[in-house]
Amino acid sequence: MLLLAVFMCMGALILGNLLQDFIKDETRLLEDRLWVWNRYGTTYRAFYTLYEITFAGNWPSNVRPILEKVSHAYVIFYFLYVTIIVFAVIRVISAIFLKDTLDEANNDAQHLVLDRLRKREAYVERLEGLFNAIIDDEGREAGILTEKRLAEILANPRVKAYFSTLEIDVQEGAALFHLLDNGHGEVTLDDFISGIMRCKGAARAIDTFALQNDVKQLDAKLQKLLTQLMSNQIVGEQLWRVRYQVRTPVRPNPQEQEFDPLRTLTNWINGVDEDIRDGGATPVSMGCVN
């Protein structure tokens, strides 16, 4: 900006001195001489006119009369000034301001990320302190939290209030324990921290997490059941035998049809339901009940 002000001041001095002869020339029209004096008669007037040309963008209205009324030789000065100062220098300055603005915005984003990381670390430290404070002596040795201990702790209203300061809406200890438990019947420090971090927020967030946890447990049980069915050929063969003893007197050739335990189990259950409805078989008669 200082360099731009220097260029504007130099241009005002040069242009003002060059136009003094026209202003003092009595052979020229008085109206034209007054117009030139009002815009370039003094250093202040010339500087302000160049300021308008530089920043206001109305340079044609201040340049065209000089070329037509005074001399077209001034086109050299205006050509250089508009090209170098108005176009090039102004855009360089604008680019510098834009770069500084983007750098500052980037720094603000980095500060925001760092601030969130610091808050997360502080929150995790609070959770670690809470976990170490609520576990009993037996759990302290193994580093685990039991459902009974959590229920006893949450029976205290002050503990529930402290959980509220952690943005955790807790209504009963059993529900919270099942949310934190990974299926082993106990909660470790890592399970406690990860579960609380996911439960953080309003009650709707806990409900969503509970539903997700139930779905995961159900999926794990189904995967375990399917794995056992596919790996246990003895059970599959027994189901095959029972199915065709009830529905058909002759067992089909295993080579003609590939054995599928899941399909066999489904067909057998459907067959048992039909036989019970028809009165042709009972669970006892099929060997399902000892």
Measure the CA–CA gap between 49 and 235, rounded to whole angstroms: 100
- DSSP annotation string for 229-270: HHH-HHHHHHHHHHHHHHH-SSPPPTTTS---HHHHHHHHHH
Decide if pLDDT at 105 tops 50.
yes
| 120 confidence band (pLDDT: 50, 70, 90) | confident
* Residue 222: pLDDT over 80: yes
8 Å CB contact between 131 and 163: no
DSSP 187: E
Q: Between the ranges 63-72, 209-218, 240-249, where is the mean pLDDT highest?
A: 63-72
Average pLDDT on 253-280 reads 55
Q: What is the mean pLDDT of residues 239-256?
A: 52
- Helix (H, G, I), strand (E, B), or coil: what is residue 201? coil
Residue 262: predicted pLDDT: 57
pLDDT at 121 over 70: yes
Whether residue 219 is predicted with pLDDT greater than 80 in this model: the reply is yes
Task: Please report which confidence band the pLDDT of residue 283 belongs to, taking 50, 70 and 90 as the band edges.
Answer: very low
* CA proximity to 209, closest of 218, 197, 223, 226: 197
DSSP secondary structure string for all residues of 51-120: HIIIIIS-HHHHHHHHHHHT-GGGHHHHHHIIIIIIIIIHHHHHHHHHHHHHHHHHHHHHHHHHHHHHHH
Please report which confidence band the pLDDT of residue 256 belongs to, taking 50, 70 and 90 as the band edges.
Answer: very low
Q: What is the pLDDT of residue 119?
A: 85
User: Under CATH, which architecture does the 137-199 domain have?
Assistant: Orthogonal Bundle (1.10)
Cβ-based neighbour number of residue 276 at 10 Å: 13
- Give me the pLDDT at residue 284, please: 40
Instruction: Note the pLDDT of residue 138.
Output: 67
Range 232-256 average pLDDT: 54
**Domain residue limits, the chain:** 1-98, 137-199
Single pTM value for the model: 0.38
Q: Please give the DSSP secondary-structure letter assigned to residue 144.
A: E
- Rg of the Cα atoms in the chain: 44
pLDDT at 290: 39
Residue 34: per-residue pLDDT: 92
pLDDT in tens, 179-193: 777 667 778 888 888
> Which residues neighbour 75 within 8 Å (Cβ) at sequence distance 6 or greater?
67
Domain 1-98 adopts which CATH fold? Answer: Helix Hairpins (1.10.287)
